[in-house]
Amino acid sequence: MIVVEALQWAAQQFKTCPAFMCASPLLEAETLLSEVMQKPKALLIAHLEQELSQEQWEQFEHWVLRRCQHEPVAYLMGAKEFYGRSFVVNPSVLIPRPATETLIDRALISTKKMHPDHSLILDIGTGSGAIVITLVLESEIPAIATDISKEALAIAKENAARLGVEEKIHFLEGDLLDPLLPLLKSMTEKRKQQPAAEHLNQMLICANLPYLTQTQWENAQQDVKDYEPQIALTAGVDGLDLYWKLFGQIKKYRRLFPSELTVLCEIDPQQSHQIVALISRHFPLCDIQITKDLEGHDRIVETKL
């Protein structure tokens, strides 16, 4: 089997598979074969007569048949690129989306004003760790990341080790801010006991929490609904249950946080008015700014508390 024959076979599979709707069958085929043969697509196309080894053909055939069942390409490959870096992913974690890179852009604006020795990044619901690892690499500010899923934390730790920041990020298992409370209380006590000493005075909280409604989940594409973890996607009737809980926790324990506190959240574009009302309910005098993603949709909510 040569490259051009393999691509033609795969494209035909994608076209004729009754359960699979694909806008670009050949592009899907090229993406998978490029990964199997460990060659850029351009080089692949330039050598259409190259023979596949038996092992390459078997892997390609296996991937194509799995893709016909809507299994996401990122899970087939075991990796997804985010902000120019490759992150390990599996069905225990949400696949990083391009829209989330807008959160990184906004966060890096904040980190430019933060000193690494007196600042901390918190990533709530870290999943694969893509957000927190990217921010630490780009800003060199230490971080703590939490997730309720032990399996997700294992992937996040693996990614941190692969990208060389495992010593700069502390991973904690638990629900939202719960695993952080002992540490925050300890830091508060130290500030009281040593008021003249230099302490943590700036903190950035990033939260890409589940925000799909149950209806959105039920109507989602099969790639999402059948393979990605629902726990990382849905949050109640309006999709904002976890943000209600998070901002409730921040309000309850605000005294434990540094004086300069910024919170960045990713939302569904249709939730922009609801999230502003939600945050204002907890913090009536706070400054709220909404940033659009690259497609022009309301995506990131920035709150200074």
168 assigned to some structural domain: yes
Instruction: Mark whether 225 and 261 lie in a shared domain.
Output: yes
Q: 80 in helix, strand or coil?
A: strand
pLDDT tens digit sequence for 287-300: 999 999 999 999 99
Instruction: Mark whether 41 and 171 lie in a shared domain.
Output: no
Lowest mean pLDDT among 84-88, 120-124, 167-171, 194-198: 194-198
Instruction: Mark whether 51 and 159 lie in a shared domain.
Output: no
Instruction: Mark whether 216 and 155 lie in a shared domain.
Output: yes
Assign 79 a pLDDT band (cuts: 50, 70, 90). very high
Instruction: Mark whether 105 and 234 lie in a shared domain.
Output: yes
Average pLDDT, the chain: 94
CATH of the domain at 22: 1.10.8.10
User: Strand locations in 90-183, DSSP E?
Assistant: 119-124, 143-147, 169-173
Instruction: Mark whether 37 and 100 lie in a shared domain.
Output: no
84 assigned to some structural domain: no
Sheet-wide strand order for 119-124? 169-173, 143-147, 119-124, 202-207, 260-266, 298-304, 287-292
105 assigned to some structural domain: yes
pLDDT tens digit sequence for 96-108: 999 999 999 999 9
Instruction: Mark whether 162 and 44 lie in a shared domain.
Output: no
pLDDT at 32 over 90: yes
Q: Between the CA of residue 261 and those of 40, 207, 254, 267, what are the distances in Å?
A: 43, 13, 9, 19
- Strand partners for 224: none
Q: What per-residue confidence (pLDDT) applies to 196?
A: 62
pLDDT tens digit sequence for 251-275: 999 999 998 999 999 999 999 999 9
Lowest mean pLDDT among 15-19, 174-178, 179-183, 218-222: 15-19
CA distance 244 to 96: 23
Lowest mean pLDDT among 90-94, 114-118, 202-206: 114-118
48 assigned to some structural domain: yes
Final residue of a domain: which of 39, 69, 99?
A: 69
Provide long-range contacts, Cβ within 8 A and 24+ apart, for 58-67: 60/6, 60/10, 60/32, 60/33, 60/36, 63/32, 63/36, 64/9, 64/10, 64/13, 64/14, 64/29, 64/32, 65/13, 67/14, 67/20, 67/28, 67/32
| Residue 257 CB contacts under 8 Å (≥ 6 apart), including other chains | 184, 203, 250, 305
Lowest mean pLDDT among 199-203, 224-228, 235-239, 263-267: 199-203
Q: Residues, the chain, total?
A: 305
User: Phi and psi dihedrals of 186, rounded to 5?
Assistant: -65, -45
Domain housing 53: 3-69
| Residue 206 CB contacts under 8 Å (≥ 6 apart), including other chains | 103, 107, 121, 122, 123, 124, 131, 132, 135, 264
Instruction: Mark whether 112 and 252 lie in a shared domain.
Output: yes
Instruction: Mark whether 190 and 230 lie in a shared domain.
Output: yes
Q: How many domains does the chain have?
A: 2
Ramachandran sector of residue 164 (left: φ over 0; alpha: ψ -120 to 50; beta: rest):
left
Rg of the Cα trace of the chain?
Answer: 22
CATH of the domain at 184: 3.40.50.150
- Strand partners for 300: 266, 291
CA distance 232 to 245: 15
Q: What is the mean pLDDT of residues 18-30?
A: 84
> What is the secondary structure of 4-16 as a DSSP string?
HHHHHHHHHHHHH
Task: Say if CB 76 and CB 66 are below 8 A apart.
Answer: yes
Q: 213 in helix, strand or coil?
A: coil
| Residue 62 CB contacts under 8 Å (≥ 6 apart), including other chains | none
CA distance 74 to 149: 20
Residue 66: which of 74, 76, 58 has the closest Cα? 76
pLDDT at 197 over 70: no
